[in-house]
Chains A and B, each alone.
Chain A
């Protein structure tokens, strides 16, 4: 594992020195500042009838938007850190001198993947925690299952990184970035279909959304994390939240974890196999 550790360290330093990472940090600070400003301007109306926790609905709705932004930023970072892992770097002439060293190709991939996931997950953890802290400080509400939600968002980003790494074996950097973003968009589209299917009571649309969840389990993890955020709420409040940005929320349970783990393992194995057969 020494070689993997060397590659991990190298890739970690490379990730932190990329301009896109620095630009992302600046944009994130801007986002969190605007989020805090927006939260401070929020007006919570009087409850229309007894039992309706409007303040919770408002705070959770706004946090839901922040979670989507966190998810989007995390996915973008994971993609940018992995899009050129194989073909992109080989075309640039970066990869060859590393691969001829006495290390197995799977060790190289593992080191690169772990570094990308580590950077993206730490980033997501910080933004997610900051969003919750801002919501709690300004709107006096915090989700009861924040840790579980954060873990699921992080897992979603790790799955995206694995997918991006697999396609990096075949596609050059730009093409891979576009392809993985399209897949990410397809996942979001699936979530939207599920929401519409739920509202219209359309089994076909809901079935389509379920298929997309299996094909793009990062979306399933995201929806499950949204579900975690409102897990402690019930009655009218929960129903109101499901009408808002939490409409795609579901209770993924252990199934989402098992499927996502299996999916990521198969993707990782396919990446190792494809890379071992690739001429550089």
Chain B
């Protein structure tokens, strides 16, 4: 379990936050986090740090503790031990709550409210002074401009999920905690979500994206944390995790993988194969996909 510490990127402008807080405190800091539900250890000493402007994918099998970790960061679940801070403030405190936006995996808004009314309610609770302009902008951002007056009860699941994302963005949060935010979206919606997340990253917003969709995480996240059985089993920048797996050579009999071999060794390998009378049709250097990395660490731990 390694400390997940990443480069600092300039956070968005926020006059309510002191300069020292901007300069030093990570968006999310998790230290030795333990959570027990009765005799079950849901989290066993998790260490995690997310800096402003980072888009971090949180991966893991069902029951690994991802949602529990996210909920503790939101203040919905009390930790049994350890420390969780949002921009230096204790998770669950008012100061921490002011800095976050959260979309739960299981969520429901009252069916009798319109999309605009849902956002208005959250604006009032968040103390946002954005008014109608902020609501218009958020609905536009998630592609629901035409549905501002539509009742939640008349919306499809995908539209409700878009509304959920807009709700999470009320009050210009500096840390976004998203728990399976694309589970009800179609491919177009998922692409829109990726673009939105990239925009947010460029604005300096930190995002913790809890997802089962490895391909989605691979496309949008620059850092990944894999959790299994309440422990961080792998973490780091995506390019570091995509370690070389070897060289694949296409021969007359089919493809053959030379594991552990690097790009530098390709000329010698081809020379040797030709000398042995093989006919080489193609050579490619293989790197582990996120799925392979994931299955490696999760399976190993599971076994």
Contact = CB atoms under 8 A, between A and B. Distances in A.
Interface string A93-121: 11011111111100000000000000000
B100 interface: yes
A178 interface: no
Nearest to B76: A280
Contacts of A93: 104, 106-108
Per DSSP, chain B at the interface is mixed
A14 B112 contact: yes
Interface string B61-80: 00000000001001111100
B235 interface: no
B229 interface: no
Contact of A101 (B71, B103, B104, B126): B126
A279 interface: yes
Contacts of B109: 94, 97
B73 to A, nearest CB: 10
Given A6-B124, A14-B112, A102-B126, A96 B97 contact: no
Interface string A14-32: 1001000000000000000
Nearest to A278: B78
A276 to B, nearest CB: 9
Contacts of A104: 94
B98 interface: yes
B102 A94 contact: no
A104 B74 CA distance: 13
B125 interface: yes
B77 A96 contact: no
Contact of A96 (B94, B95, B104, B121): B104
B161 to A, nearest CB: 12
Contacts of B112: 13-14, 17
Contacts of A96: 71, 74, 76, 102, 104, 107
Contact of B77 (A92, A102, A280): A280
B29 interface: no
B100 A100 contact: yes
11 contacts: A2-B127, A3-B125, A13-B112, A14-B110, A97-B107, A100-B75, A100-B97, A100-B100, A101-B126, A277-B78, A280-B77
